[in-house]
Amino acid sequence: MLSWTAQISVLLIAIPSTRLALDYDTLSRIIDHPVAWLLTRPLFWAMMGVVFGPYVFWRGLQSLRLKRLIKNIPRSTIRAAALGPIEVVGKAVGPYTLVSPLANSECLYYRLVVLVGERGAHKVTDEMCAPMFIDDGTGKLMIDPRQAELAMDAYEGGTHSEYLGHVVARHGFSKGDVVSAQEFCIRPEDTIFVLGTLRENPWAGKNVDAHASALSRIGPGFVSEAEADIQRRSVYECLDPAIPSGATQLSASEFDPYPPVILTKGSSFVISNRSQREVVSDLSWKSIVYIWGGPVVTLLGVWRILKHLQLWGVLP
């Protein structure tokens, strides 16, 4: 029995009214290598253009909307920031740090995107964050970076890291299942640009919980100092358990883990280690290419499909 890809391949050839003749060798190649055969068919790419062209156009509109939003929202200092959408620029700081799984670098937040399984069929996203603040010289503002669009370069490599094996194991996979991995990090003292929504912190004020422990998460899900210490020791197994791991910063007492306001996701949420001008420039060319390229690819795909229908005698 033919696989589904082989059946599709045969179906693309065996269209009613087609005058194309198949010899045994051609059919054998299709059955043995259906994917490779599909990739050489102009009709396949025409269908992909019709399917993905509108999506590319939509992405272009999203980039254009975000670019206009960034340009229309005035940049604010932390001291003068009001509740609602704001833009701020400053240095990323925090009371203690984590260790990123791939680069093994000091960070306040990491997001790991891993493709696992046969040909990367499954996508695993893992993220961890210590209490993170942005400091622009006028004050410090807590940021919850989850769900943010990270406009920064990813680190690729280190797929043989032992700690990476622990990360994918939490999602039911082994290190041998890893096909590729990308890591996004925000490190201490990184200059970052943030577009988000400043709102009242629902976790303001430390609540006494009878079931809380040293490993209990803080606020929206920040790891505690004790959990950060355990995470660091799982990466650096040579650390002496009798001495501090080095996760805590000297200025840790300066940070309030339960501030009255927090910068988080709203209608748009972007964190970048590039300047505002660079982010806007990147969005500008993306919006132009996607908005014009999407319809062009779609129209070319439709034209190609109509030409094939004419060749097969379906259309006059």
Domain coordinates of the chain in residue numbers?
A: 52-288
Quote the CA–CA distance of 159 and 122 in Å, as a whole number.
16
Query: Per-residue confidence at 222, pLDDT binned at 50, 70, 90?
Result: very high
104: left (phi over 0), alpha (psi -120 to 50) or beta: left
Mean pLDDT, rounded, for 147-160: 83
Contacts of range 222-227, beta carbons closer than 8 Å, 24 or more positions apart: 222/129, 222/130, 222/131, 222/132, 222/257, 223/98, 223/128, 223/129, 223/130, 225/95, 225/96, 225/252
Mean pLDDT, rounded, for 179-199: 92
What pLDDT does residue 211 have? 63
What pLDDT does residue 185 have? 93
What pLDDT does residue 24 have? 53
What pLDDT does residue 176 have? 81
What pLDDT does residue 55 have? 93
Residue 309 has pLDDT above 90, yes or no: no
Residue 157 has pLDDT above 50, yes or no: yes
pLDDT-wise least confident of 11-20, 107-116, 195-204, 226-235? 11-20
What pLDDT does residue 27 have? 59
Query: Per-residue confidence at 101, pLDDT binned at 50, 70, 90?
Result: confident
What pLDDT does residue 21 have? 46
pLDDT-wise least confident of 19-23, 278-282, 285-289? 19-23
Mean pLDDT, rounded, for 260-285: 90
What pLDDT does residue 2 have? 46
Report the percentage of the chain scoring pLDDT > 90.
Answer: 31
What pLDDT does residue 11 have? 44
What pLDDT does residue 271 have? 94
pLDDT (tens digit per residue) in 231-269: 887 777 665 555 555 666 656 678 888 999 999 998 889
pLDDT (tens digit per residue) in 4-47: 444 444 444 444 444 444 455 665 666 666 666 676 777 888 88
Task: Check residues 214 and 79 and name the one with the higher pLDDT.
Answer: 79
What pLDDT does residue 116 have? 86
What pLDDT does residue 133 have? 95
Quote the CA–CA distance of 153 and 187 in Å, as a whole number.
13
